[in-house]
Structure 1
């Protein structure tokens, strides 16, 4: 575990990516106790300077020869290949690794953490690695946790509406370019996605398995069970890519073990740290990506009882996938570690 210090050396692998840049902003906003910052990215970004906490930090090229001497915590938000290559190497050198990829999430000796839900899992780090969940799983478990504690959960059915920023900067550029081209009556070119994303929906995220589920759908189910420590929980998901730049939305149907009125569900959700209940049908008040962009909270609305099943509940949630879905969650884990 970390030794108590006045400031810590933090390394960010993937510093010039969308999540890396968001991480720098969050470290500054939350006044994380930094003594130094090491930024790593590909060769084309080496030498670029990025600002954080009143200083400019030069980006270093990430190579096998890179030294991580003196680093306390490494925030890894790059590719699965980078996580595989550097995650265990950093941990073996005594660096605590907070990894954003799917490489270690389901390893039994690596905690999968959303601090508001299962911070206690950070007490033991046998491999020196902590995983953060998929950017759709994180807001989902934050909505499910208070309902689980209040009435118990038998089954979860979730449909996600995921923004293109979940794929990366190139996908955001593709959406913007396609939109401009189509509005100018030009053909849309596809590179990042198999089909046009502008003015379209793609019910396909990740790779297809033999049973027809996408890998993203499998991740959500497995990760939800692990984080909530509910191995028997029934979870099924359908994941959809939508032409939105930022923020993931989810339609969630929950079958509870005990009855729960909509107002009691709202109260339980409102008491959950990091959750903002944004729900007034009479005023057409409900969460939208425009509301949650750049915000830390998970916005929840459209809370209502489902008469089609015993003890059923419907809700709608929106979360900024680059913040709480990735960068913020990683920084919050680092904060927990330095506090302990």
Structure 2
């Protein structure tokens, strides 16, 4: 016996990955529905060795379904997530709409799985921002050992975080660089992304930070510990899939780099690849399609008393979105729901 599962936004990058991961991890599914907007009704999507036809989200009745994985924008989520939740279907939402709602748990299973229990207040669980998810997986086991005071993080985020149109823009701009007269002007991004980096993700706030940077601060505090001070600089880079982060951590207590390496090797969801030689680290290209958050370049920061630097890489469509959502569903099933 299993669950009745709905994937909302099944034709998008994240929805596609949700279906893949549900099949790969052999999630106990009795029945599954793929939903999309009306214009995508009838579009075929893969679920393991099965082919599903997308149904119209607007007309779908969530009554009797157990879990809905949402991978649509915030505006559509605002309409349909409460409808699903009211019908008794637990929503796991990948948008930012509910992340900062005190009545909605924000969950990374390796970090705060028990927070899932709070879903009953609104029948909704929030998935964190992609850049936050991989970072807190790396920070949590270190925080448990030496207590983190402050984090300085710079991100190098792939274009898939902006969706298919952004991936197309990078591809077309790259091709256009080599064909005179076929240059492609920016449309998704404010500046050219091919062979460039853009220190601007989401909108600017009054203090000069961007909303993406604010999200990392707010979400880390909610998921891990409100006392942690964090400052972020979020940068879009010409990579198709895979987010990277350079993380500087200041602890209350001294933590030796060798002990940190051992702690991270034993931590759930993490693979350490850290050889001090050419190629002895993980790059975004190597993490695509993988479940793990990879940690490399672990080293002492000699400029402060209790500091470490690490390099963190993960597939943002997986751990940053789809995988984390499916892991939440797994925890929800183990802790809270009975199989049908």
TM-score in same-fold range (> 0.5) = yes
CA RMSD of aligned residues (A): 1.0
**Is 1:114 the counterpart of 2:108 in the alignment?**
yes
CA–CA separation in structure 2 for the residues paired with 1:295 and 1:55? 22
Q: Give the aligned partner of residue 148 of structure 2.
A: 153
Deviation per residue, 1:61-92 (Å, 9 max, x gap):
221x3212221100001100111111112111
Matches within 5 A, 1:32-181: 32-63=27-58, 65-125=59-119, 126-181=121-176
Number of residue pairs the alignment of both structures matches: 333
- Runs of 5+ in structure 1 lacking a partner? 1-5
Task: After TM superposition, give the deviation of residue 283 of structure 1 in Å.
Answer: 4.9
Aligned 8 A contact 1:31 1:53 in 2: no
Matches within 5 A, 1:292-307: 292-307=287-302
Aligned 8 A contact 1:136 1:160 in 2: yes
CA–CA separation in structure 2 for the residues paired with 1:19 and 1:183? 31
Q: Give the aligned partner of residue 207 of structure 2.
A: 211
CA–CA separation in structure 2 for the residues paired with 1:24 and 1:231? 34
Task: After TM superposition, give the deviation of residue 56 of structure 1 in Å.
Answer: 2.0
CA–CA separation in structure 2 for the residues paired with 1:66 and 1:31? 25
CA–CA separation in structure 2 for the residues paired with 1:282 and 1:51? 41
**Is 1:199 the counterpart of 2:170 in the alignment?**
no
CA–CA separation in structure 2 for the residues paired with 1:11 and 1:21? 12
| TM-score, L = length of structure 1 | 0.96
| TM-score, L = length of structure 2 | 0.96
Q: Give the aligned partner of residue 220 of structure 2.
A: 224
CA–CA separation in structure 1 for the residues paired with 2:313 and 2:284? 6
**Is 1:310 the counterpart of 2:333 in the alignment?**
no
Q: Give the aligned partner of residue 3 of structure 1.
A: none
Aligned 8 A contact 2:92 2:127 in 1: yes
CA–CA separation in structure 2 for the residues paired with 1:286 and 1:156? 21
Task: After TM superposition, give the deviation of residue 187 of structure 1 in Å.
Answer: 2.4
Aligned 8 A contact 1:302 1:315 in 2: yes
Runs of 4+ displaced beyond 4 Å: none
- For 1:176, what is the secondary structure of its paired residue? helix
Deviation per residue, 1:251-277 (Å, 9 max, x gap):
000001111111111111111100000
Task: After TM superposition, give the deviation of residue 118 of structure 1 in Å.
Answer: 0.5
Q: Give the aligned partner of residue 240 of structure 1.
A: 235
